[in-house]
Structure formats: structure tokens, C-alpha cells
Amino acid sequence: MGILEVKDVGKRFGGLQALSDVTLSVQENTVHAIIGPNGAGKSTLLNCLVGKLIPDTGSVMFDGQSVLGRKPFEINQMGISRVFQTPEIFGDLTVMENMMIPLFAKRDGIFRLHAMRSVGSEGDLITRAEEMLADVNMLDKRNMHSASMSRGDKRRLEMAMCLVQEPRLLLLDEPTAGMARADTNNTIDLLKEIKAKRPITMCIIEHDMHVVFSLADRITVLAQGTPLVEDVPEKIKGHPKVQEAYLGE
């Protein structure tokens, strides 16, 4: 049994069958990549995992519990965190203030967020936030205004905001989309560092093969809403079905 078990998931948007018969299993403490051409249904699948979309059919089990019918914040509290394609940080808050948001969301649910300004006494959470910032080499920037940071630091902060919740499953939707090669390589290194420091399962949706082959333990290829093949990276490279799926892009 994987930590994440997706079975026969289908999702239709009007006349478009975006996902059909998606079955996949993500093993604990591995990096599982989901690749596929544009429009294959990768983001739709991810949205079904975090409660942003509800599949029409099938089941999604995390650690033996169904996520279906739960709200995004409840799924987050179960131990699933998601990194967005563009950093979702609050520019007018400091790095440290940004770090407190996910900690309160995890502890209290989203409804206590309004109380975040009155958290001076929350020593434990502050310590955790500081430790996490140290982990991603950002402790010296704790009082910086987030808006004024470089793109790379914003990405680091966003990653830290996810990880401080100590998720068991981290979902990443094209974490290097739109990045230059140097930033892409920095992101790959950051994810490797993160993995080396703690037990964590990552499910990474990615278009860039360089990123996938640098990080993934297993790869599922999605095409037209259905898994084509699933295997280790060495077997996926040069697989005729994979090349076929990417032709005509």
C-alpha cells in the first residue's frame, strides 16, 4: 500500500473528459513524478488530491483515509501540502510573518488566521519557523519584507512555508515552470536538500524532463487524462509510448 492511492479517478469538464481511469500508487518517502504533455490532466489530477476539485468517479486515499469530500484545509491538516506554480506568499508581510501563516492553519484550521497578528507568545511555533528557515538558508532574512526578495528566495520561502507544516506528502505542480536553467538547477538542489534532511514523500508534476530525471524515483506518464506507463526513470527514458505522447507538442 502506498501513502497515496488513487484509484479509477475520472473528471469531466462539460464535454471534455479531463481524467479517466487514473490509478496510481505513491510509495512513502519516494519522489513520484507525473509527467505528460500540456493538457494531459496533470493539474486536474493534483487539484483532485487537494480537494480543489472533486472527481466524478474513483477514490483517493491518503494514509488509509479518503480525502474525497474533505475541504482543502482539512486535507492539509491530514498531512498534504502543496507548492503552487507561482509563489503564494504575502508580499507586505515579513519572511517570519509568512512562516506563521501555515503553522496556524495547520494547528487551528483556516478560521483562526485572522488572529495571526496577536501571536507574540507562540514560542513553540516561532522556534519551528526559525528552524525551518535555517534549513533553507533563510534565517538571516527573517525580518525582510517578502516583496523585496529575489524570485529564488521567494521560492525558498514558499517551500519553507509548506515544509514547516511537516507534511508527509508534498505536492509540487511544475515547480520550475518559467525558470531559467540556473534557477531550475537551484530548485532541484533545494528539493534534494529538503529530501536529505527529513523523511518526506513528494509528488511532482513536471514538464521539464531534466527536473524529473534529476529527482524522481518513479514516473507516471499521463496522456489525454489516462496513465500510459509507470516505471523507474531509466525505463521511462526512450520508452516508445512516452515519445509518442510528446510528439506533436
Can you give the binding site for ligand ADP, defined by CB under 6 A? Answer: 13, 16, 18, 36, 38-44
Nearest CB to ligand ADP, comparing residues 39 and 109: 39
Binding site for Mg ion (CB under 5 A): 42-43
Q: C-alpha cell of 193?
A: 536538500
Picked from ligand ADP, Mg ion, none, the partner binding residue 35 (CB below 5 to 8 A depending on kind) is: none
Q: C-alpha cell of 48?
A: 483532485
Separation in Å, CA 84 to CA 28, 56, 87, 151, 242: 22, 24, 6, 14, 26
**Nearest distance from residue 229's CB to ligand ADP, in Å?**
16
CB 221 within 8 A of CB 236: yes
Nearest CB to ligand ADP, comparing residues 52 and 239: 52
**Nearest distance from residue 177's CB to Mg ion, in Å?**
8
Nearest CB to ligand ADP, comparing residues 41 and 55: 41
**Nearest distance from residue 54's CB to ligand ADP, in Å?**
12
Q: C-alpha cell of 5?
A: 492511492
Q: C-alpha cell of 57?
A: 468517479
DSSP letter (8 states) at residue 145: B
Nearest CB to ligand ADP, comparing residues 42 and 155: 42
Question: Which amino acid type is present at position 23?
Answer: T
Picked from Mg ion, ligand ADP, none, the partner binding residue 232 (CB below 5 to 8 A depending on kind) is: none
Picked from Mg ion, ligand ADP, none, the partner binding residue 40 (CB below 5 to 8 A depending on kind) is: ligand ADP
Nearest CB to Mg ion, comparing residues 195 and 207: 207
Distance CA 42, CA 207 (A): 10
Nearest CB to ligand ADP, comparing residues 44 and 98: 44
Residue 178, sorted as left (phi over 0), alpha (psi -120 to 50) or beta, turns out to be left
Q: What stretches of the chain show up as alpha helix (H) in DSSP?
A: 42-49, 72-78, 95-108, 123-135, 151-163, 181-197, 209-215, 233-236, 240-246
Picked from ligand ADP, Mg ion, none, the partner binding residue 180 (CB below 5 to 8 A depending on kind) is: none
**Nearest distance from residue 44's CB to Mg ion, in Å?**
8
Separation in Å, CA 116 to CA 101, 120, 154, 195, 196: 7, 9, 21, 29, 31
**Nearest distance from residue 139's CB to ligand ADP, in Å?**
35
**Nearest distance from residue 246's CB to ligand ADP, in Å?**
12
Nearest CB to ligand ADP, comparing residues 11 and 155: 11
Four-point Cα dihedral 173, 175, 177, 178, nearest 10: 150
Picked from Mg ion, ligand ADP, none, the partner binding residue 83 (CB below 5 to 8 A depending on kind) is: none
**Nearest distance from residue 56's CB to ligand ADP, in Å?**
13
